[in-house]
Structure 1
Amino acid sequence: MELERFTRIAEAGDALPLARLVNLAGEGLPLHIWSTMAAPDQDPWEVGRERQAEKARDGQIHVVDFGEGPVASLTGYAIGPTPEPIGAEFPALFRPLQELENLALNSWYVNVLACFPETQGRGIGTHLLNLAEKIAADRGISRMSVIVSDDNHGARRLYERVGYAEKARRRCVSDGWQTEIQNWVLLTKEL
């Protein structure tokens, strides 16, 4: 299947499936975060939809859409040459993730790569990773990076199949989030 013709920049109207895809990629962590951000009478999914609509309006998300809305999404960004400070006030939940990002300086970071389960196995993840590499190369970035959980074997297989290798890992800090994840794993690839 020629996936390029089904790939487009996300629109604000895609916010609901985008929020679902982000939560899928983040193994439930996004919904936990949105729950902490929501007003007392606000649905946490509404927070997620608002955040994804904003990113879509800024042109930050690519999606695969076969005509009935996004079935997969890619969000990424450049990590520059300077590590982000991790001071005493830095939230414990995010500390291991930021420590790993700080080990991936000068890379294009795949922040979200997700595909709904019913469309997996069709080459969509590989297609979006190829797109991410093209975006990185167009910006003069010669290294890719991504963080996955140690128990997400499907994602790990996908990344390793296209040339990513483990660089480092950090213990997951749940800090009130109910999860089985033991470690976050940084994978990188030289282009």
Structure 2
Amino acid sequence: MIALTPPFRLAMAADAAPLADLVNFAGEGLPLYLWTGMATDGQDPWDIGRARQAAKAREGQIVVADFGQGAVASLTGYVIGAEPTEITDDFPSLLRPLQELENQALNSWYVNVLASYPDCRGQGLGSRLLDLAEDIARAEGLQRMSVIVASDNTGARRLYERKGYAERATAPCVKEAWDTSTEFWVLLIKALN
């Protein structure tokens, strides 16, 4: 991991609650839908989301912005390697188009989650976190970035395009019972200099 300076730091397990919020913001409700499907009788889906984020934080996978009152924005990403992930017949249909797009972004650093609380938007945190993501990618020896956005998330798409990302491919959104207006997923790629 690269060196981080305030307000940025690695997330801790104690950040699990805001991280679950931020993941759900970024995913436009898809994470909560998935957590609900994982919940057993009487289990709060948010508990699943918080536990998953706490585990990722313990593994050092999340960078947050914290101005002294806790995480208000976050970045989660990972390396997509040289080999595509096999999509078998039992691969969840809801996630299949996302994996198909990821398979077109081999050898890239994938921005999985980039989000801030609504009252912290417009302060440049997203742009600064994307700069950190590029630093992480370069430290990993990668020469390109990737992200998948919902076709109707115009704000996120504008941010990525301002940062040099360009559309590479689209895939139809499989909705199942997830309540969304998203029609397509859009893969954006940026070459690093």
**1: CA distance, partners of 2:109 / 2:89:** 27
Task: State TM-score, norm by structure 1.
Answer: 0.97
**2: CA distance, partners of 1:143 / 1:131:** 14
Q: Measure how far apart 1:4 and its partner are.
A: 3.8
Q: CA RMSD in A?
A: 0.9
Structure 1 outlier segments of 4+, above 6 Å: none
Deviation per residue, 1:76-104 (Å, 9 max, x gap) = 00000101011111111001000000000
**2: CA distance, partners of 1:54 / 1:83:** 25
**1: CA distance, partners of 2:129 / 2:121:** 12
- Whether 1:130 aligns to 2:123 is no
Q: Give the corresponding residue for 2:178.
A: 177
**1: CA distance, partners of 2:13 / 2:88:** 34
5 Å-filtered alignment, 1:50-129, equals: 50-129=51-130
Moved more, 139-148 or 3-12: 3-12
- For 1:5, what is the secondary structure of its paired residue? coil
Percent identity, aligned pairs only?
Answer: 62
**1: CA distance, partners of 2:41 / 2:53:** 21
Q: Give the corresponding residue for 2:18.
A: 17
Deviation per residue, 1:32-75 (Å, 9 max, x gap) = 00001111111100000000000001110000001111110000
Task: State TM-score, norm by structure 2.
Answer: 0.96
Specify every segment of 5 or more residues in structure 1 that has no aligned partner in the other structure, as ranges.
Answer: none
Deviation per residue, 1:130-172 (Å, 9 max, x gap) = 0000000001001000000000000000000010000000000
Confirm or deny: 8 A CA contact 2:6 2:66 kept in the other structure.
no
What code does the residue aligned with 1:62 have? V
**2: CA distance, partners of 1:93 / 1:80:** 22
**1: CA distance, partners of 2:61 / 2:18:** 15
Confirm or deny: 8 A CA contact 2:109 2:144 kept in the other structure.
yes
Give the count of matched residue pairs: 189
What code does the residue aligned with 2:37 have? T
Q: Give the corresponding residue for 2:158.
A: 157
Specify every segment of 5 or more residues in structure 2 that has no aligned partner in the other structure, as ranges.
Answer: none
